[in-house]
Amino acid sequence: MSSMKKLLLLFLSLGVISYIVSSYLDPSENAILVVAEEPYQQEIARLYCEPDNRDLSFITFEGINKRISTGKCQFGDYQIEFYQHVGLVHRCYNQNAFCGIKSDRKGITDDLPVIVKDINGEVVATSLDIDEQAGVIELFRVPTSFPYMVLRTNLGGARSIAYLHFFTAKPSFKQVALIGPVSGWRDDGKYIYSNEQGEWLVDKFVKVPTPHLSALSDWLHFPVAYKFVDDHLERADEHIKSNLKVYSETELEGINEEALQIRALIDAQTNSKWDIVNLLFSGRSDVPLSGKFFWRFTDFVYQGQEELAWQFFERAIPDSYDILSGDTASMYTTKNTMRETMKNWIEDYFPLGPFL
């Protein structure tokens, strides 16, 4: 028999043995073979993390145990420990490794999601020092060359309100910066990055409501870049200015067409004034052009193109708006009052230019 055939038979035998063994393992006796989670590290920050040696894809509590470890990190001379507790109602954003969750049960009081210990094993900080209101505190994965450890606190809510806490272990454990809210829906690492100048940047998300503060679903969200300078964050104005959007002729033609379509609806005088206001500011996926006016106008202002915003306003809102039937909010009674409302709105939400 050739050596190649012997090798093939060996592989097949191993496969059969593996299948037989796995078939007879009883999952209820925790005999399932699992693949260990990958460790995580940031060399410059001196952060080295090892997940707990268990399958964290599904969290269970056995016997009288009211908490389980989801991993530990060596951070300089400090150890960061993550725990999840029985009776949890919150969930980790990405994965259970290096994610702590406190209990929702009233009888459980010692349910700290994160504990920080010094080289002697003494507790120097806990989740209460980071954010006592946060139900979830988890390690935020960032580019490996980032010089700080980052913990994300999730305060819950329909929009997954999250904050980022930045820590150093040099010369001692301390928080150097806090920024938020940030979007809890974005993938890890996407709002911490560096630019061509070698600056470390963090995107904060700014909520921009409609002038009449309509439903939250109508509000817009924009990222605003901040940069690290000597262990603190400040707005990265030069980076923002150099990255403002430049609209192509094709894009402007498409936006102009939307303005003319809105104008035609108003000129037709078939909708009430309140219906038109809803069309201008409320984004509904089932209604063509719904919310396009507010979105386009705001985006122009945000991108530093206020002149284009007002050109869009004039194309979309004809003088015939004034004679539409029905009532509406006083800030939108006429085209002139709407124009004044939008000017005041810019001053309120974009006081320092196109970036807050």
Q: With 0-12 CB in 10 A as exposed, 13-18 as middle and 19+ as buried, what is 310? A: middle
pLDDT in tens, the chain (356 residues): 444 444 434 433 434 333 333 333 333 333 333 344 678 999 999 999 998 766 666 666 665 567 888 899 999 999 999 998 876 666 777 678 899 988 877 666 678 999 999 999 999 999 999 998 888 899 999 999 999 999 999 876 544 678 999 999 999 999 999 998 776 555 544 779 999 999 999 988 888 899 999 888 888 888 889 999 999 999 998 998 898 899 999 999 999 999 999 999 999 999 999 999 999 999 887 788 999 999 999 999 999 899 999 999 999 999 999 999 998 889 999 999 999 999 999 998 885 554 44
Residues 6+ apart with CB under 8 A from 130: 114, 137, 151, 153, 165, 175
Q: How far apart are CA 90 and CA 92, in angstroms?
A: 7
Q: How far apart are CA 281 and CA 210, in angstroms?
A: 7
Domain boundaries, the chain: 40-194, 249-349
Full-prediction pTM beyond 0.85?
A: no
Q: Is 272 within 8 Å of 326 (Cβ atoms)? A: yes
**What are the structure tokens assigned to 262, written together?**
């809105």
